[in-house]
Amino acid sequence: MTKTSAGNFFEDFRLGQTLRHATPRTMTGGDFSLYTGLFGGRFAVQSSAAFAKAIGYPNRPLDDLLVFHIVFGKTVPDVSLNAVANLGYAGMQFLAPVFAGDTLNATSEVIGLKENSNRKTGIVYVRTRGVNQDGVAVLEYVRWVMVRKRDEAAPAPGDHVPRLPTAVEPKLLGGACPPINVAAYDFALAGSPYKFGDYAVGEKIDHVDGITVEEAEHMTATRLYQNTARIHFDAFTAAQGRFGKRLIYGGHVISLARALSFNGLANAFHIAAINGGRHVAPLFAGGTVFAWSEVLATAELPGRSDVGALRLRTVATKDKPCADFPLKDGEADDPAVILDLDYWVLMPR
């Protein structure tokens, strides 16, 4: 008997089970500062309390992806400590803004279980919800992950694959975005004149800049989220593993791509939902991340004339500038591609 947690193995999960995750976390203005130091975000709404208040927020909200990383981090000890691979996300909705001073908690419900035919692993589907100190849901998403069994002979704990949406419907967007006073939205301060109506389906944007990642940076970021996945932190053990070195948290790439996307999408001030995403290839320290985006769809939000939604595919690459929008190499993935993310952003109309 040990007091150390070894995390859950596949056979430990049960359909319908609710996991209350540990370590509540009060957010601070310092989280903004450190997150800015790590990613360099420039979206005006998150950067300036004055800007945010002028357009209708009670204060500047924390970066949507920072909220995601904090909630995700809490789930790691219970859901993915024994994961072989993080397989996907679906239906991620940002439901309420989060401000410095708020305290975040998270719970997950097990909504699917499917043993693999080799009986060594199984797929666990969880619906995770992040809530603030008032019990208000701020984020909800489904994640599925391949988890090792402790004992191959153990019976499968269930057999159910949930139906998942391929995209969040536009009518579900906008809960974390108060009514925006577009007349008070200063496009020069925000860094671009382009509004919702200026983007067309099929339009591709090269975000131009590249950013190299150091070991100290991705570890600091991932610890900030209290994420304990050891592959990101322990070079000694990683040296004996699959990659021979530390692997950068996939969420780090998402945050880098988001920060880079400012150049071309400066008024896409809020991520309203993430439809899905694929970590196409791993990133290691020393790699330089570039990104480009394509507008997959545009949508009006029912009852709202202040903001519209763009559905974006943002692709991140490693050591390859994106002027020619790398994605596929014949049928296969372009070997430089590391992320393919499908999400909804809100922009002023």
The footprint of a second copy on residues 28-47 (CB under 8 A) is: 28-34, 36-44, 47
Shortest distance (Å) from residue 222 CB to a second copy:
8
Task: Restricting to residues 74-133, name those near a second copy by CB under 8 A.
Answer: 77, 100-101, 103, 105, 133
- Is 17 near a second copy (CB under 8 A)? no
Residue 204 exposed, middle or buried by CB count within 10 Å (0-12, 13-18, 19+): middle
- Pick the closer one to a second copy by CB: 93 or 255: 255
- Side chain identity at 54, as an amino acid letter? A
CA atoms within 13 A on the CB side of 180: 25
- Pick the closer one to a second copy by CB: 182 or 285: 285
Shortest distance (Å) from residue 169 CB to a second copy:
26
- Pick the closer one to a second copy by CB: 6 or 161: 6
- Is 321 near a second copy (CB under 8 A)? yes
Q: Give the one residue of 286, 297, 305, 335 binding a second copy; rule: CB under 8 A.
A: 286
- Pick the closer one to a second copy by CB: 43 or 144: 43
List CB contacts of 248: < 8 A, sequence separation 6 or more: 213, 218, 232, 282, 283, 284, 285, 287
- Side chain identity at 200, as an amino acid letter? A
Shortest distance (Å) from residue 271 CB to a second copy:
18
In 3D space, the residue among 178, 146, 152 whose CA is nearest the CA of residue 82 turns out to be 146
275-304 burial, b at 16+ Cβ within 10 Å, e below that, comes to bbbbbbbbbbbebbbbbbbbbbebeebeeb
| Biggest CA pair distance of the chain | 64
Check residue 119 and report its DSSP letter.
Answer: S
Q: Give the one residue of 67, 95, 224, 346 binding a second copy; rule: CB under 8 A.
A: 224
User: How many residues in the shown chain lie near a second copy by CB under 8 A?
Assistant: 82
In 3D space, the residue among 345, 205, 344, 207 whose CA is nearest the CA of residue 267 turns out to be 345
Q: Give the one residue of 51, 125, 144, 185 binding a second copy; rule: CB under 8 A.
A: 51
Structure-block tokens of residue 53: 């208040």
Q: Give the one residue of 85, 223, 297, 302 binding a second copy; rule: CB under 8 A.
A: 223
d(CA 180, CA 306): 6
Task: Restricting to residues 152-181, name those near a second copy by CB under 8 A.
Answer: none
Residues belonging to the chain: 349
Q: Give the one residue of 26, 58, 160, 201 binding a second copy; rule: CB under 8 A.
A: 26
- Pick the closer one to a second copy by CB: 265 or 301: 265
- Is 233 near a second copy (CB under 8 A)? yes
- Pick the closer one to a second copy by CB: 164 or 203: 203
Structure-block tokens of residue 203: 């339009």
